[in-house]
Amino acid sequence: MNNSLRTSIKHLGCNFLALARFSALHSFSSLSSPHTTERFAQSQPQQQQQDPYALMKEDPIQICSDIWVKSFSTPKSKQFANLTGFLSKFDIWVLAYQRSVAHFTGSFPSRNAISSQVLHDLLSLRDAVVKGQFCWNMKTEPFIRSPTEKPMSNRKLQKFLESNHPPFQDRVVQEVLLLILEPVFESRFSSKSHAFRPGRSAHTVIRTIRSNFAGYVWFLRGDLSEVLENVDRNLVMGCLEKVVKDKRVLGLINSALREPMTCGSESGRDHESREAKRKKRKGEEKSKRRKVLNPNEPKPDPYWLRTFFDFAPEEAAKVPSYGYCGILSTLLANVCLSELDYMMEEKIAEFCGSFMHNPMWKNSIADGCHNPAWPEFVPSCEKEKTKRMDYIRYGGHFLVGIRGSRENVVEVKEGITGFCKTEFGITLDKSKLQIEHVSRGIQFLDHVICHRVIYPTLHYTGTGGQIVSRKGVGTLLSVTASLPQCIRRFRHLELLKGDKDPEPLPCTPMLYSSQAHTNSQMNKFLETMADWYRFADNRKKVVGFCAYVIRSSLAKLYAARYKLKSRAKVYNIATRDLSNPLRERANNMSSEYSDLLRLGLIDVIEGVQFSRMSSIPSCDYTPFPRNWVPEHEKVLLEYVKLQDPKFFCELLVSIKTQGLSLPQDEISETVWDFKTFGVRRFVTEMKRHQTTMNELQAPQDVDLVMEAERERHSTFARDSKSTVLNLGSAERALLQFGAEDAATDLSALCLGYLELKNGST
């Protein structure tokens, strides 16, 4: 998390900078002692001394679930005026602490493993936030410290104060705000945005484009990444205040959005830049050495994962970072960019007009499960009736598909440019908002969108029963992976050289790893790449190319390590997938490989995957609903619907109107018959019904017998009601279902039937 943070002492004047650093070192050194927290606790007022265990009464997951349900059940126009109640719940703070510790250490601690002293410090942090006494980037006197933090020397402490790394308590506060604000805005975000949101990803963007953007001829590809890099604080606060009215929460975010102040002359800044470059070179030299991790320090990302991160497309490479907001920045970026989503939804409705609900588009819009492998047929009629537009956004990049004339496209472009100028203060020139035709291909998320036009012959029955054949026009949307972009990524990783005829290079970062470990790492990378290009039409081709580059790179690496001089000799010994062990010479014996030989684990060496085209999976053409909603939102909407009593009233009315019967009614009727007439008569009726059904010979007899059974059943019910009316009040009370459980009555009925069947009674 690369936050542009500064130390709090730099807010002071330049004349007092040295004095502030001295006082900060003195105060932080005192905090490093084990008795600091005790002195700090003794200095607190008596009313603040609360028992944290007494405040841990609720389940934090249940509290978060209540926030999600409340957000999705309230109308989108309603504002949240009181969120301090959730901010005061100590259970949410404990969950935020657990998530923060998991981020720094790599392991999620249980609630029982948190010490009493940490809980008291966490309670002090909560009280400071609720009472407005919390300050961001407070490194000198933190309320709570990271579990991996140790007492520092003065030199390390000064380096920590001058760094941009945020303190641990800022991460905890950010987690709390995210747990509270994310469900509030998720229920109001548009379904057109897919970045930095739970349940949505770049894959959902590609599948939505394949399913919804067929038939569009013109495309507008826009870039609003400036909003992710730098945003006006007034813009963010204005968008937040449309939904949130809680002054405490708004004040916290407003203070976090303030840019850290810097002081110093030009010469001082030049000296600092030179010092930063010198430290960077020194850090690079240290990074080449093997580092011994601390006991609680998380392991770094493996090589295959770092390699895959370098394959991130341009649209997903930039992650927003606003002031001290940290992980809250992605939510705030979506809050600002959602204004563009709302505007585009209104423009789509205005653009399509009355033709949006035309019967010719009815099946293609509300089909619920469209198969993208089938062509979408465009009805042949007036051009005005076939006008359509759609929009989708991923982060700061968006794509607009338009079916209409170029004049319509220019008009939409001018509307978007004017909105971004007035709302975000960003001028979209030709390089940031381009008009592209589908015939040239549109690149989005490292995939190329193009059309394949087909002219099938449609056969249908016309008036008079005649078979009519008519020539139709259909468009099949093609979404393919960009192979040139893939080559550029490999060149950036120094695994390829050249443009027209790229040549693989040896994978030098894995030089000192064993053959088994190297193959395993590269297999994970290839599996991830195959999953990334899962919905590309040319999935086999691009994954086969990636496998060729990786396999050739490893072959060159093994040829250099084992002194085999060429890839051909490596393939002769290790086979095509490099699964056979490569023997080494005596003067170049690797300790890892010797251990494998000694332990007899030579068969564990995995072969490099996708060495043959037949082993590469094909493109996934699973039907994707046009009005797709993530699973967690489906569950929330269903739960909210079940909580509404009007839903059950409407359901009961529809059942009575359609003449349907509920399973509960049938069970109640069975138990009623058993109570009123006893098990013997009930079993007799069942046997008579079974005998009658067995004697049926023709299908027409079934209808007659069923009609007779219905009449007999109605007579049977009238007799049962008259029998109950003749009973006394005590006997009638025994027949009420409230006296006994319905499940007990049904089990007694089954037991009685089994006893009669076995002849025991």
Residues 6+ apart with CB under 8 A from 251: 132
The pLDDT of 343-371, averaged and rounded, is 65
What are the phi and psi torsion angles at 698 (to 5°)? Answer: -115, 155
Per residue in 59-105, pLDDT tens?
999 999 999 999 999 998 899 988 999 999 999 999 999 999 998 88
Least confident segment among 1-10, 107-116, 445-454: 1-10
Task: State the pLDDT confidence band at 291, using cuts at 50, 70 and 90.
Answer: low
DSSP type of residue 662: -
Which is more confidently placed, 90 or 605? 90
Q: How many CA atoms lie within 13 A of 82 on its CB side?
A: 2
Show the tokens assigned to 384: 């005005």
pLDDT at 601: 53
The model's confidence at residue 218, banded by pLDDT at 50, 70 and 90, is very high
Describe the crossing of helices 247-256 and 233-241 by its angle, rounded to 10 degrees. Answer: 160
Comparing C-alpha atoms, which of 190, 197, 192, 181 is closest to residue 236?
Answer: 181
Mean pLDDT of the region 173-179: 95
Work out the pLDDT band at 741, boundaries 50, 70, 90: very low
**What single letter denotes the amino acid at residue 624?**
F
pLDDT of the residue at 739 = 37
Higher per-residue pLDDT: 207 or 597: 207
Choose the weakest-confidence range: 186-195, 484-493, 593-602, 654-663: 593-602
- Tell me which DSSP letter residue 624 carries: B
Render pLDDT for 485-514 as a digit per residue (tens, 0 to 9).
Answer: 999 999 988 899 887 788 999 999 888 888
Give me the percent of the chain exceeding a pLDDT of 70.
69
**pLDDT number for residue 472:** 76
- Distance linking the first and last C-alpha atoms of the chain: 78
Residue 4 above 60 pLDDT?
no
Parallel/antiparallel/unpaired status of strands 447-454 and 474-481: antiparallel
DSSP single-letter state for residue 191: T
> What are the strands, taking DSSP E only, across 462-563?
467-471, 474-481, 496-497, 503-504
Cα distances from 199 to residues 33, 445, 474, 631, in angstroms, run 45, 18, 32, 7
Phi/psi for 397 (5° steps) reads -120, 140
- Range with top average pLDDT, 6-10, 333-337, 563-567: 333-337
**Least confident window among 43-52, 240-249, 305-314, 626-635:** 43-52
Query: Distance between CA 567 and CA 558 in Å, rounded?
Result: 8
What's the whole-model pTM score?
0.75
Amino acid at 89: K
> Predicted confidence band at 21 (pLDDT cuts at 50, 70, 90)?
very low
pLDDT tens, residue by residue, 651-690: 888 877 877 776 777 777 777 776 666 666 666 766 776 6
- DSSP assignment, residue 302? P
Q: Check the CA dihedral 688-691-695-698 and report its sign.
A: positive
Over the chain, what is the mean pLDDT? 77
Q: Which of 220, 578, 532, 265 is nearest to 403 (CA)?
A: 220
Q: How far apart are CA 652 and CA 301, in angstroms?
A: 56
